[in-house]
Chains A and B, each alone.
Chain A
Amino acid sequence: MALRTSPEVGGMGHSIKRKEDPRFIRGKGTYVDDVQLPGMLYLDIVRSPHAHAKIVKIDAAKAMAVPGVLAVITGQDLAKYNLHWMPTLMSDTQMVLPVEKVMYQAQEVAAVLATSRYAAADGAAAVEVQYDPLPVVVDPKKALEPGAPVLRTDKKDKKDNHIWHWEWGDKGATDRAFGEAAVTVKEDIYLPRIHVASIETCGCVAHFDRVNDKLTVWMTTQAPHAIRTVFALVAGHVGLAEHKIRIISPDIGGGFGGKVPVYPGYVIAVAASVLTGKPVKWIEDRMENLQADSFARDYHITAELAAKKDGTLTALRIKTLADHGYTDAAANPSKFPAGLFHVCTGSYDLKAAHVEVDGAYTNKPPGGIAYRCSFRVTEAVHTIERMVDLMAHQLNIDPADFRMKNFVKPEQFPYKSALGWEYDSGNYGGALKKAMDTIGYADLRREQAEKRKRGQLMGIGISSFTEIVGAGPSKHFDILGLKMFDSCEIRVHPTGKAIARFGTKSQGQGHETTYAQILAEELGIPAQDIQVEEGDTDTAPYGLGTYASRSTPVAGAAAAVAARKVRDKARKIAAYLLEVAEDDLVWEPGKFSVKGAPSKSKTIQDIAFAAYTNHPQGMEAGLEAVSYYDPPNLTYPFGSYICVVDIDSGTGEVKVRRFVAIDDCGNIINPMIVQGQVHGGLTMGLAPALYEEISYDEIGNVRGGSFIDYLVPTAVETPKWETGHTVTPSPHHPLGAKGVGESATVGAPAAIANAVVDALWYLGVRHIDIPITPAKVWKLLREKGVTE
C-alpha cells in the first residue's frame, strides 16, 4: 500500500515509535497491583487440595485469630445474597464459592479479608477445611462412559457428564466423498491443555463508595464494558445498577484471552468491598493463575481426509471430544459452542466436510478460552495442516507441491468454504512461494536427503494457515446477547488536536499508537496530536473488547468510519469558509482545497478552529463523531510458515534451526508493530509445540501448575524468527486490514510438528502430539531402533 501521509503525520504504513513506551520504559505504567488506595484491604483465597470432594466443615476460628484478619468469607455467606453461583459466558453456571462440594484442585473454597497482604495469606493458611473426597473423573472419554460418576449434581436433571453435541456441514455429502475416495488418511490428534500465562497474573481493586453508592473496579480485563453489564445483571438484585458501576482496565500485562472471563476472585473482592465499604485488593499468584484460571484447548480430535488418486483433496471428517472441566466457561460467541472450529477446511478447496464436537464435564478447572487465537482456530488449523501433511507424505508428494495443488485459488475469492464461511480474500500460493524462496526450500530438501544418508535427523515443516478473525457480524455473533460490534468516539479540539476513545482494550498490542495512525490517515491530524484512551467504562463508548484479533477488524474500522463522519462535517465547514460548494472541494490527508485552485485551501486544524469559533449558521458547533461498527463479514488473514528442525538422536531434543513466517494481514497500519505481533505469536506457537502442557494425574492433581514445570520459552529456546509479508487487502474492511495478533500462534505449531514428523517419517512415524518433548522423541526413536 502506498503511503498517503508524511512521516510527521504518521498515518498507515509508517513504523512510528509507540506512544505507550515512554511510560513503560521508565517503570511508570499503572498495572492493577500498582493501584493502592487509602484504607485498602486485601483478599486471599483458600483453595482445594482435592479435585472432587464434599465440604464437610469450614472452621474459620484460627484464621479469625490471626492479627489483621477481618473476615472469612464462605459460600454460605454468598448464598445469603444468591451470589455463590454465577453464569458463565456460555450460559452454564460456575461457583463463586462452593457450598456443597469442590470440583477441581485449586478451586476457591473460602476467602480471607485482612488489613495487609501478609495477614490475608496467614489467614488463608489458618482456615481449616474438612473434606470428604469423592471419585474423580479426569479423562473426558471415561466421563462419558455409562456408569461414570455424575459430576454436576447441582443440576437436578443431569444424568451424565455430556454437555452438548454440536455438528456442522453436510454429513451425507461427506460420507459419500469418503466412499468414493481413492486415498484416505485418519489420525487421532490431541491438543492438550495449556495456559496463556501472561506475565502479569489476574487481579482487581474493588472500591464501593458508600457515599455515592458507586462501585469502581480496577481489573485485569480485556472486555471492560461487557464486564460492567455482566456485573449489573448478576448483582442487580443486591442493588448494583449499571450506571453505578465503573470498570477501569488499567495497563494490562498481557492478556491473550486469559483476561476475558470473570473469575470468582473478582466477584468475591467486589462483594467484600460492598459489604465493608472499603477498597479491597485481590491479586492472584502465579500458581493460582496456572492452576485455577481458564485453560485453553484440551481437544481430543479424530480427523479423516479424503483424496482422489492424483492427490486432489475432496473431503474432511472430524469428530472431537472437548474437555471443558466442571463447567462450560468457554469464551465463545453464543451461537458457537465449539467456537469457529469449523474453519477447519483451512486453505484448501474441499468439496465436502462435516464436523462433530461433544463437550464433556471433568474434575478440572473450567475454561476453553483462546490462547492468543480466535475462537478454537488453532485447533482447526493444527488439524487440517497435520492432515494435509499426512496425506502428502502418504502419496509421496512434496508437501509444498501438494498444498499448491489443493489451495483455494486467488480467482475463487470471495470463496464459500465447504462449511459455509465466506473467505474475503487470499493468495495462498503467493505466500507459500515467498516463504519457499526466502528459506531456500529446494536446497533444504537436498540437504535433508544428504543428511539422511548419514543418519542425521532433519525435518522441514510447512503450515499454510487461514485464520478467521474480527468477530463479528451482529446477525451471527453475540456474547450473552451483546452484539459483537465495536466503537470509536472522536473529538477534535479547537486547536486541531484530538482525543479518541474505544470500546476495546490493549494488553500490549499498541492501540494508543495504531488507532492514532488510523485517524492520522483519515484526518491528516498527526498521530502525535491524537490521544487514544480505552478501558474506562465511564468515558469510553461501549464495545465488546479486545480478543480474537478483533481490534483492527472491528474497532479499527470504527475509527475509520468515525473519522470519515468528522471529515464529512469538516467538508461542510471548509466549503463555508472557502465560499464554494462542497463538491468543489478536493480532500488530501490534512486539508480540503478548491478544485483547480490548490492555493485556496483549509487545513483540518483551520477547520477544527472554525468548528468552535466560526461555524456556519444552522450547523451545530463542534467536530466530533462516534461509530459503532458492525462488520459485514469476518476477515481471513493467512500465511505460510516453513520451519527447519534438527533432532538430536541421542537426547530426542528438537531444535528449531530456522523459521520463516510470511503473513498476509491485508493492509498494514504499523509495520514495526505488526512484526512485533508476529514475533510474539510465533513464540506462543513454539511454546505449546515443544514445551507447554498442563496435565493431571488420575486423582486430579495438576501437573504444570507453576513456572517450575510449566515451561514458558526463554530467549535461549526461542529461535531468531524471520518474517515477511504479502499484502492482500480485505475487500470489505474500510482500511483493507485484517488483524494480525494471533496468526502466528495459530499457524506455527503445525509447522513445527510437521517438521518433526517430516524428519522421522522414513522411520515409520506418522504423528506426534504436541508438546513434542525430548522424552517423547527419545522414546519413539528407541522404538524405531535408532540408538544414537
Chain B
Amino acid sequence: MLVKLSVNGEKHEANVEPRLLLVHMIREVLRLTGTHIGCDTTHCGACTILVDGQPVKSCTMFAVQAQGKQLMTVEGLEQNGKLHPLQEGFMAEHGLQCGYCTPGMLMTSYAFLKKHPKPSEDDIRWAISGNLCRCTGYVNIVKAVQHAAAAISQGGA
C-alpha cells in the first residue's frame, strides 16, 4: 500500500505491506533510527513519537494508519542547529545514561509540556510513566523536564 506522510516537516511516501508497524517504517524504510524498540507489549515507550502532536507508541500503530499524518520523531527536536530545551535539560541534569529510552522520554515530555507548561513533579512522574528507564531512576529525568519547562517559560522555545 502506498503511504504518504510527513516526518519532521519532510514529506515521504513509500509502498509498504499493510501490516508494517509504523516504528519499522520509521526505522527501516525512512532510516530514522533514533526511535527505538524495547518491548512488544506497548509498555516501554522507547518507540514514542508524535502523530499530529499526540504522543503515540509507534510499535502499536501500522504505518498505513499514519496516512496523511504529521509525524515528529526525536530527529525533529533540533531546529536550525539549536537544541530543544528538553535536549538541553536532559544533558544538563544528567537525565540519560545508556540513551536507549531517551528519544521516547523526550517525545513524551515534549507533548506533555505543550499541554502543561508549568507541571508539578508529580505531574511529570505520571506523564512519563508510560516510558520505562532502567538506568537513571527517573530523578534526573524529572529534573530535566523541569529544566526545560523553566527554559521554555522564559522564552527558550
Which positions in A face B, CB cutoff 8 Å?
17-18, 20-31, 33-34, 36, 117-118, 196-201, 251-254, 256, 285-287, 507-510, 672-673, 675-676, 679-684, 706-708, 712, 714-716, 718, 720-721
- B41 near A26 with CB under 8 A, answer no
Q: Return chain B residues, CB-CB under 8 Å to A252.
A: 98
Give CA–CA (A508, B98) in the complex, Å.
3
Partner pick for A27 among B34, B126, B130, B132, CB 8 A cutoff: B34
Kindly list chain A residues whose C-beta atoms are within 8 Å of the C-beta of B43. Answer: 707-708, 712
Q: How far is the CB of B133 from chain A (nearest CB, A)?
A: 7
Contacts of A34 in B (CB 8 A): 27, 33
Report A234 CB to chain B, min CB distance, Å.
29
Check A707/B97 contact, CB under 8 A, given A27-B73, A714-B132.
Answer: no
Assess whether B32 is interfacial by the CB under 8 Å rule: yes
In the complex, the chain B residue whose C-beta lies closest to that of A716 is B129
- Determine the distance from Cα of A644 to Cα of B37 in the docked complex, in whole angstroms: 36
Query: Cβ of B137 and Cβ of A682 under 8 Å apart?
Result: yes
- A-contacting residues, B41-96, CB 8 Å: 41, 43-44, 46, 73-75, 77-78, 83, 87, 90-92, 94, 96
| Chain B residues within 8 Å of A681, by CB | 137
Q: Which residue of A lies closest to B20 (CB)?
A: A118
Task: Give the CA-CA distance A325 to B142 in the complex, in Å.
Answer: 39
Using known A-B contacts A25-B87, A672-B94, determine if residue A718 contacts B36 with beta carbons closer than 8 Å: no
Q: Are A683 and B91 in contact (CB under 8 A)?
A: no
Name the residue on B nearest A706 (C-beta). Answer: B41
Instruction: Check B75 against A27 for contact (C-beta < 8 Å).
Output: yes
Q: How many Å from the CB of B45 to the closest CB on chain A?
A: 9
Contact for B97 among A285, A676, A721, CB less than 8 A: A676
Alpha-carbon gap, A589 to B154, bound state (A): 40
Output the residue of A21, A23, A30, A252 with the most chain B CB within 10 A: A21
Q: Shortest CB–CB separation between residue B64 and chain A, in angstroms?
A: 14
Additional A-B contacts beyond A199-B101, A715-B126, A720-B139 (8; CB < 8 A): A22-B91, A25-B91, A31-B33, A198-B134, A201-B38, A253-B101, A508-B97, A714-B138
Interface centre among A199, A252, A720 (most CB of B within 10 A): A199
From residue A300, how far is it (CB to closest CB) to chain B in Å? 27
* Bound: A684/B106 CA distance, A: 22
Q: Which residues of A contact B125 (CB under 8 A)?
A: 715-716, 718
Q: Would B99 and A253 count as touching, CB distance under 8 A?
A: yes
For this complex, into which size category does the number of interface residues on chain B fall?
A: 35 or more
Q: Given A17-B92, A197-B134, A715-B138, verify A26-B98 contact (CB < 8 Å).
A: no
Chain A's closest residue to B42 (CB) is: A707
Q: List CB contacts (< 8 Å) of B125-157 with chain A.
A: 125-126, 128-142
CA distance A508 to B136 in the complex (A): 10
B148 to chain A, nearest CB (A): 11
The answer to whether B99 touches A24, judged by C-beta atoms less than 8 angstroms apart, is yes
A508 touches B99 (CB 8 A): yes
Main DSSP-derived SS at the A contact region = loop
A287 near B134: Cβ-Cβ < 8 Å = no
Judging by beta carbons under 8 Å apart, are B40 and A25 in contact? no
Q: Are A26 and B33 in contact (CB under 8 A)?
A: no
Contact B134 A26 (CB under 8 A): no
A118-B17, A199-B38, A715-B141 given; A27·B94 CB < 8 A: no
Q: Are B140 and A679 in contact (CB under 8 A)?
A: yes
A198 to B, closest residue via Cβ: B134
| CB proximity of B79 to chain A, nearest CB, Å | 12
B75 touching A706, Cβ below 8 Å: no
Q: What's the nearest-Cβ distance from chain B to residue A296, in Å?
A: 14
Q: How many Å lie between the Cα of A516 and that of B115 in the bound state?
A: 40
The reply to whether A199 and B136 contact each other, CB–CB distance below 8 Å, is no
By the criterion CB–CB under 8 Å, are A26 and B75 in contact?
yes
Q: Contact: A21 with B91, CB < 8 Å?
A: yes
Known: A17-B92, A721-B139. A707 touches B98 (CB 8 A): no
- Return B106 CB to nearest CB of chain A, in Å: 7
CA distance A254 to B98 in the complex (A): 6
- Report the separation of the CA atoms of residues A136 and B74 in the bound assembly, to the nearest whole angstrom: 47
A118 to B29, CA, bound (A): 14
Is B133 within 8 A of A673, CB to CB?
Answer: no
B38 A286 Cβ-Cβ under 8 A: yes
Complex Cα distance A285/B130, Å?
19
A18 touching B31 by the CB < 8 A rule? no
3 shortest interchain CB distances as A-B pairs: A27-B34, A508-B98, A253-B100
Q: Please, which residues of chain B bring their CB within 8 A of the CB of A251?
A: 98-99
A196 to B134, CA, bound (A): 9
Contacts of B33 in A (CB 8 A): 27, 30-31, 33-34
Given A672-B94, A680-B135, A706-B40; A25-B141 close (CB under 8 Å): no
What's the least CB distance linking A756 to chain B, in Å? 20
B14 within 8 A of A: no
Assess the A254–B135 pair: CB atoms within 8 A: yes
> Which A residues lie within 8 Å of B37 (CB)?
33
Chain A CB within 10 Å, residue with most, of B20, B77, B103: B103
B119 vs chain A, min Cβ distance (A):
12
The chain A residue sitting closest to B138, CB to CB, is: A715
B78–A26 CB distance below 8 A: yes
In the complex, chain B residues whose CB is within 8 Å of the CB of A22 = 91
B116 at the interface (CB under 8 A from A): no
- Cβ distance B40 to chain A, nearest Cβ, rounded Å: 5
A682: chain B residues within 8 A (beta carbon)? 137
Interface pair A26/B94, CB less than 8 Å apart? no
Tell me which residues across on chain B come within 8 A of A25, comparing CB atoms: 74, 83, 87, 90-91, 96, 99, 102, 106
Query: What residues on B are CB-neighbors of A36 within 8 Å?
Result: 28, 31
Could you name 15 residue pairs across A and B whose Cβ atoms are closer than 8 Å?
Answer: A17-B91, A25-B83, A26-B78, A27-B74, A27-B103, A198-B100, A199-B38, A253-B100, A508-B97, A676-B136, A679-B137, A683-B137, A712-B132, A714-B128, A714-B131
Asked whether A712 lies within 8 Å of B98 as measured between CB atoms, the reply is no
Per the bound structure, the CA–CA distance linking A26 and B81 in Å amounts to: 11
Q: Which residues of B contact A256 (CB under 8 A)?
A: 134
Task: List chain B residues, Cβ under 8 A from A285.
Answer: 39-40
- The answer to whether A26 touches B91 (Cβ under 8 A) is no
User: Are A24 and B129 in contact (CB-based, < 8 A)?
Assistant: no
Please tell me if the beta carbons of A510 and B97 are within 8 angstroms of each other in the complex.
yes
CB of B102 to closest CB in A, whole Å: 5
* Complex Cα–Cα for A675 and B28 (A): 36
Establish whether residues A287 and B132, one from each chain, have CB atoms under 8 Å apart when the complex forms. no
**A682 to B136, alpha carbons, bound, how many Å?**
9
Please determine whether A199 and B133 come into contact, CB atoms closer than 8 angstroms. yes
Contacts of A684 in B (CB 8 A): 134
CB distance from A676 to the nearest CB of B (A): 5
Chain B proximity of A232: nearest CB distance (Å) = 29
How far is it, in angstroms, between the C-alpha of A508 and the C-alpha of B133 when the chains are bound? 12
Asked whether B34 lies within 8 Å of A26 as measured between CB atoms, the reply is yes
Report which residue of B100, B133, B137 has the largest number of chain A beta carbons within 10 angstroms of its beta carbon: B137
Contacts of A706 in B (CB 8 A): 39-41
Tell me whether B78 and A715 are in contact (CB under 8 A): no
